[in-house]
């Protein structure tokens, strides 16, 4: 039997994640897929953590779904750490990643996703 793809592993992770992380990742993926023209199909890492979205200018966002805690880690191209912290997002110890725990936070992240897409366009 062949090893499962990153997409298949991600689907399993998404099916087993804690509420509200499934709704959050679904919303974030919809926003990224519709962030502007020429968004390419997402790429999934072998480990299945989550999708990465690109346009012809390069990758503009990535999501890592957590299964043991109800949140999604988000990376956005060009997002300034201090600006996202000022907007109420909790940063990771790893540079440029931020925690999104609720749909309300995911909605607040829309403007940052659109900016990241535009910066790569």
Residue-wise DSSP of 10-22 = HHHHHHTPPTTHH
- Tens of pLDDT along 12-70? 999 999 989 999 999 999 999 999 999 999 999 888 789 999 999 999 999 999 888 99
Let me know if residue 35 belongs to a domain: yes
Residue 113 in this model has a pLDDT that exceeds 70:
yes
Range of the domain at 24: 6-72+98-120
Residue 92 in this model has a pLDDT that exceeds 70:
yes
pLDDT greater at residue 52 or residue 3: 52
Specify whether the CB–CB gap between 42 and 53 falls below 8 A.
yes
Let me know if residue 49 belongs to a domain: yes
How many folded domains does the chain comprise? 1
Please tell me the pTM assigned to this model: 0.93
Q: Which helix (H) or strand (E) holds 62?
A: strand 58-65
Residue 1 in this model has a pLDDT that exceeds 80:
no
């Amino acid at each position: 039997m062949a090893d499962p793809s990153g997409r298949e592993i991600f689907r399993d992770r998404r099916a087993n994640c804690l509420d509200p992380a499934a709704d959050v990742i679904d919303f974030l993926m919809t926003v990224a897929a519709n962030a502007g023209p020429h968004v390419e199909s997402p790429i999934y890492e072998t480990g299945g953590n989550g999708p990465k979205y690109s346009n012809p200018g390069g990758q503009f966002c990535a999501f890592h779904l957590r299964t043991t805690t109800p949140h999604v880690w988000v990376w956005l191209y060009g997002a300034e750490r201090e600006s996202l912290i000022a907007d109420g997002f909790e940063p990771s110890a790893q540079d440029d990643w931020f925690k999104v725990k609720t749909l309300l936070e995911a909605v607040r992240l829309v403007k940052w996703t659109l900016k990241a897409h535009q910066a790569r366009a």
